[in-house]
Amino acid sequence: MNDAYIAVEGDRIIEARARSQGTTRGELVFTTAYTGYEESLTDPSYEEQLLTFSYPLIGNYGVRKERFESDRVHPRGVLAREMTEDVAQWLQSQDVPAVDHLDTRDIVTEIRDEGAMKAGIAAGPDATEADALAELDECSHMSSHTDIGAQVSVDEPTIHNPDGDGTRVALLDCGAKGSIIDSLVARDATVHSLPYDASVSDVESTEPDVLFVSNGPGDPENFEQAGEVVSALVGDVPLAGICLGQQVVANALGGRTEKMEFGHRGVNQPVRDLRSDQVIMTTQNHGYTVADPGDKLNVTQVNVNDETPEGLDNDSLNIITRQYHPEANPGPNDSLSFFDDVVAMAEK
């Protein structure tokens, strides 16, 4: 029985089965990941988006909190070909509308051909097509969410591993995944997690060995304060960044970012290192990319599929960034050495 409707740009209606009731709206995107649905659903980078899983069965190994990347589900809605009861109940508890019993192949193909689209969902016994269309009418483009950082960042400074004897990291939390902090703490770093709009003096008060700009959702141009911190401290404090962090660093140093057609979201994105010519497999989740790194950053890694920059650095200014997620859970782990490189840069 179909009791859910998805309205996408062009007012096309897709029927489905409701697994978690409610109405919602957001940018419709897809991930090709075939494992890691718990990690994807708790990734803050999916804020204000509707996440479609291309893998046909979601939930076949249950739901465990120790796999979560944050304390809540971030996509505004979830679409799957088939969703288990475990996942459906979890999303119900989080008040996140979810649907299944629809042709996700068709949705993925349309996003691939047309780009990420605005969409609205209405799910439940009283849902109507008009409800879904009303959500679509109210949906905004990602660049319009100018203060999206406030939805995903820490409210107050938080210290992780305060007794560590290693690197002191000032982490601008623009929506940081828990695994980034875990990866730094595993190297005995003390991580000062700061709000996304922290001031230069807030960062300096932590006496950092390295400034680290995290991943996060939305348009990097909307993270103006983070960019100002980078601009003020470049050359004085080593800089590192992941995903949105790479984009923020690039914009702050004279580069330019742009929105991609449908982004990179999955666990099998091939990246080539231009120095070693080695190809590694990476996990990615981003809809924006660095279009022009400017004259202060060197492109060190590129995506094999579309040649977009995957790694930037500047040895003299002590900068190293990655567009993908080296801390990927559940994997692959090809690029975990990035955190060793960050620590080594800070120690140098």
Domain ranges of the chain: 4-140, 149-347
Which residue did the predictor score with more confidence, 329 or 52?
52
- Bridge partners (DSSP) of residue 273 are 301
Question: Which of 187-191, 267-271, 327-331 is predicted least confidently?
Answer: 327-331
- Which of 126, 148, 128 has its CA nearest to residue 48? 148
Label residue 147 exposed, middle or buried (CB < 10 Å: 0-12, 13-18, 19+): exposed
User: Residue 348: pLDDT band by 50, 70, 90 thresholds?
Assistant: confident
Mind listing the pLDDT tens digit for each residue in 1-44? 789 999 999 989 999 999 999 999 999 999 999 899 999 999 99
Mind listing the pLDDT tens digit for each residue in 91-134? 999 999 999 999 999 999 999 999 999 999 999 999 999 999 99
- Which of 64, 57, 61, 97 has its CA nearest to residue 80? 57
Query: Stretch 270-285: mean pLDDT, rounded?
Result: 97
Question: Which of 1-5, 58-62, 219-223 is predicted least confidently?
Answer: 1-5
Mind listing the pLDDT tens digit for each residue in 135-148? 999 999 999 999 99
C-alpha dist (Å) from residue 7 to 89, 95, 129, 204, 287? 24, 20, 8, 47, 21
Residues with catalytic roles: 243, 325, 327
- pLDDT value for 332: 86
Q: Does residue 299 come out as left (phi exceeding 0), alpha (psi in the -120 to 50 range) or beta? A: beta
Q: Indicate the fold that domain 4-140 takes in CATH.
A: Glucose Oxidase; domain 1 (3.50.30)
Label residue 127 exposed, middle or buried (CB < 10 Å: 0-12, 13-18, 19+): buried
* DSSP 8-class letter at 330: S
149-347 sits in which CATH class?
alpha beta
Say if CB 272 and CB 278 are below 8 A apart. Answer: yes
- pLDDT value for 1: 72
Question: Which of 138-152, 298-312, 328-342 is predicted least confidently?
Answer: 328-342
Distance CA 204, CA 118 (A): 40
C-alpha dist (Å) from residue 161 to 164, 172, 173, 212, 215? 5, 16, 16, 16, 21
* Whole-structure pTM value: 0.96
